[in-house]
Amino acid sequence: LPPDLAAEIDRAAAADGVGARRSATKSAIVKSVSWPTAEIVGTRDPAIARAAVEGVAARLGLTLRMLGEIATGEIMASGGLLKSGFWRRMVTAGIGRPIRVCREAEATSRGAALLALEAMGAIAMARVETPGERTAEPDSKDVEALAAQAGRQEKLRALGVS
C-alpha cells in the first residue's frame, strides 16, 4: 500500500477497530495487492483498500488453520508488503501468531540456493541461521475481529462462493 494510504487505514483501524467498516466495502473488487500500491478497481478509497488487506489476512489465517499440524513453529515472512506496518499488523492478526520479519532483501533467492545446497549434501538446513529483523506480534482485538471475518469467509467457501 502507498505509505499515505496505509497510514490513513491504520488510523481508521485504531479508531474504530478492524473489520468495522464491513458494510461499506462489500462490493470491492480486488485486482491485486502488491507493493507499493494496492490496485483496487475504480478507487483509492481507504475503506476499500483496508477491506482488501483485511480479507487477504483473514484468508491467510484460514489457510494456516487448514494446514494444521504441519504449520507449527516460527513463521518467518519476507517481501515488500511487510514494509507496511498495517500489512504486518493484519498478517499477524489474520494468522493469530507472531511473525518474524526477514531482513534478507532476496529471501526467495537465498532460500532456493540453500535448498540446492542441502540437496547436494553441502549443508544441513536445520543449522542455517535466518536473518530476522524484528518480530511482529498480533493484537488480541485484531485477532478476534479477523477470526470473525475468516468465519464468514469460510461459510462462503463452503458454499462454493469464494
pLDDT digits (tens, 9 = 90+) for 102-149: 888 788 898 899 999 999 999 998 888 877 778 899 999 989 988 888
What average pLDDT does the chain have?
78
Residue 64 CA to residue 59 CA, distance in Å, equals 9
Residue 66 CA to residue 77 CA, distance in Å, equals 19
Q: Percent of the chain scored above 90 by pLDDT?
A: 19
pLDDT-derived band of residue 153, with 50, 70 and 90 as boundaries?
confident
Q: Lay out the sheet containing 132-136: strands in order across.
A: 76-77, 99-102, 132-136
pLDDT-derived band of residue 40, with 50, 70 and 90 as boundaries?
very low
Q: Report whether pLDDT(39) > 60.
A: no
Is the pTM higher than 0.85? The answer reads no
